[in-house]
Structure 1
Amino acid sequence: MQVELNGAPTELPDNASLTDLINQMDLAGKRIAIEVNEEIIPRSQHTSYMLTAGDKVEVVHAIGGG
């Protein structure tokens, strides 16, 4: 299935969860926030939240600094 990831078309397996997407992006264990269709999805729901074709996904990395 195809979703829009940070503004770019991205192909994912059917029935992909947010955790699947995170693993595909090599972001497991990183400090990130994910928004799907303009709704922030809590980290506690990443495993159970299933993506559907056409979803608009934004992944934001938390970057520390001073």
Structure 2
Amino acid sequence: MKILLNGETLAFEGRTVADLIAQTAPEKPFAVAVNTEFVAKTTYGYRELQEGDAVDIVRPVVGG
């Protein structure tokens, strides 16, 4: 399936956010949102992705 990852089209072969994390191996720490909705780390293995979902994997910014 194809999803949008941080605004870029990605061919994704998995099903869940956990699969996506395994495929992309983002540098820690990070947070995940699917279609602008925050996804808790404890639900990565249960949160299934669908064709066309917009996923953002972001790193926190320190400072103000």
Under TM normalisation by the shorter chain, which class is it?
0.7 to 0.9
TM-score scaled by structure 2? Answer: 0.85
Deviations 1:17-64 (A, max 9, x none): 101100111238x21100000100111110110100000000002366
TM-score scaled by structure 1? Answer: 0.83
The residue matched to 1:49 in structure 2 has which SS?
coil
Which residue of the partner structure matches residue 4 of structure 2?
4
Number of matched pairs = 63
**In percent, how many aligned pairs have the same letter?**
30
- Unaligned stretches of 5+ residues in structure 1: none
- Unaligned stretches of 5+ residues in structure 2: none
Query: CA RMSD, aligned part only?
Result: 1.7
The residue matched to 1:34 in structure 2 has which SS?
strand
